Amino acid sequence: MTRLGDLERAVMDVLWDVVPGTSDGVTVREVADALDGRELAYTTVMTVLDRLAGKGMVQREREGRAWRYRPAASREAHIAQLMLDALDLGGSRDAALVRFARSVTGTEAEVLRAALGSEAGLTGPGSTGGDTGGAELTDRVDGPAGRRAADETAER
């Protein structure tokens, strides 16, 4: 996954903040209007969105003569992929993971424990996550949409 430049990140922030997962997306004009404080030409925003589409960061769909854009993945999924890519840069993934784990706060460590417990099927009495560890973690990471996806997966 490629890192984003400042303007690309600002545009993605607009998409992540404005476009819910069920939305049809936003137009170039709507993105440009949401980039308050930046004096950007319409064509500049259009070019950035086109490049983001080429990188697979956004999906677009034709609506009349215009395009509607929405993020291809959530902000959290993008950040997680950046973290995984960073792990591949070093010599030892284990050493990098240990260093990272030692640098997190107590609350962040609890989130990680709940995620690992949930992933290993260790939720329930005696686990760090309690009876709802997986659901609580999903809510923290993905919000209600992630919770719905987790619930749907559990029902299958």
pLDDT profile of the chain (156 residues), mean per 10: 86 90 85 90 96 95 92 92 85 85 88 84 50 43 41 38
Q: With contact defined as beta carbons under 8 Å apart, do 116 and 129 qualify? A: no
The HSE-up count of residue 145 (CA atoms within 13 Å, CB side) is 11
pTM: 0.67
Euclidean distance between CA atoms 156 and 153, whole angstroms: 5
Q: Which two tokens stand for residue 125?
A: 């009495």
Q: What is the pLDDT of residue 131?
A: 42
Cα→Cα distances 22→19, 71, 145, Å:
8, 11, 9
